[in-house]
Amino acid sequence: MQTGSVTTPFGRRPMTLALVRRQAALAEIKQGKTADKWKVFRDASTAMELLGIQSNSLAVLDALLSFYPENELRQDAQLIVFPSNAQLSLRAHAMAGATLRRHIAILVEAGLVVRKDSANGKRYARKNGGGEIESAFGFDLSLLLARAEELAVLAQQVTADRAALRRAKESLTICRRDVRKLITAAMEEGADGDWQSVEDVYVALVGRIPRVPTLAGTTAILDEMQMLREEVLNRLGMLEDSQNNSTNDAHNEQHIQNSKPESLNESEPSSRAEQGAKPSSSHQPRNEQRGAFPLGLVLKACPTIVDYAPGGVGSWRDLMSAAVVVRSMLGVSPSAYQDACEALGPENAAVAVACILERANFINSAGGYLRDLTRRSECGEFSLGPMIMALLRANGKGNLKAG
């Protein structure tokens, strides 16, 4: 391989430090290194966007490689090709001269080829008496050999990203379908809850799906859509539990009335305790076993409350303990918090306090705000889901705005 010294471009083409570094890199190619030229070309083609080249640039590179007679690029071989513009244009699918020159410049800028210009700018080879090429002027393909491993890594990265994007798009399509049909079923069958708010969150989320999908953008939307699906399923699961409990309660009450008709007045006040029932030491209350939302989701939306749990928040009980501390710190009265616990359930009340803590700078009266949420919840006009999703988006995009 002919490395020689650093050469400057012919004519008005400027010299840059990047060109100096690239030409110097040619001298650092390991002795005996080889690479299949078409494998390197395929890797460059796959990584074209990362390299900043275009399809026409690849057509020119393909034409340049066709002028190198062997399939293997070798460190000890003559890697300079010297076709005329007419020859190069012909092999580049009759590309126009101006277009050809532009894409040669792109290949040089991308660090895939190096110009080695003669004194007059012509491309040619000088041979010795034995007919071997002694020196040549044209396009040096040595950078392709020098960067063979790098181009392979870039190609693998692009391939992996494409596969990940394809999987993410498929998962988003399925998850989107699930959420849409679950919400529709809940609304059409008259399930209890503020399903319109959930649908509003869904519509807003769908509206953010980019027309030109990227891996990062699609993954972000998928994460939020999966959280929304989890919330919808949790709501439907709670409704089913509630219906089952109501059926069991009615059965238990009927059983009590039938078995102890003479003690009706005594059974009525005790029935609530029996139904909610003090659990045995081996069982936790139903709400402690599962909150309305995944605990991890709540902590992502409301990370500040962890600061008020000395041992961290590893369970719903930890969250409820921290909420009591925060309730006092925010000036929420015990009665307001108790009302919220009765209306929302103790876990959801703790979640509401955690949400209020995240927005404390924008709320004049935390106690009044919680009472309003409680009242709206009792009227079926409020759901924690949209609030949690809004906080998730806000935490990922910057500061919350009052609204």
The separation between CA 88 and the C-alpha centre of its own chain, rounded to angstroms, equals 43
Write the pLDDT tens digit of every residue in 18-42: 666 666 666 678 888 999 999 999 9
Cα atoms in the 13 Å half-sphere on the side-chain side of 283: 8
What tens digit of pLDDT does each residue of 301-342 get?
999 999 998 888 988 889 998 998 899 889 888 888 989 998
Long-range Cβ contact pairs of 119-124 (< 8 A, separation 24 or more): 119/10, 120/10, 121/10, 121/11, 123/82, 123/83, 123/84, 124/82
> pLDDT digit string (tens) for 67-85?
999 999 998 888 889 998 8
Where do the structural domains in the chain lie, given as residue ranges?
A: 17-153, 160-237, 295-400
Which architecture does CATH list for 17-153?
A: Orthogonal Bundle (1.10)
pLDDT score of 126? 78
Distance CA 69, CA 78 (A): 10
Q: Is the pTM of this model over 0.75?
A: no
Q: What is the pLDDT of residues 120-164, one digit of tens each?
A: 778 877 777 666 776 788 898 988 998 899 999 999 999 999 999
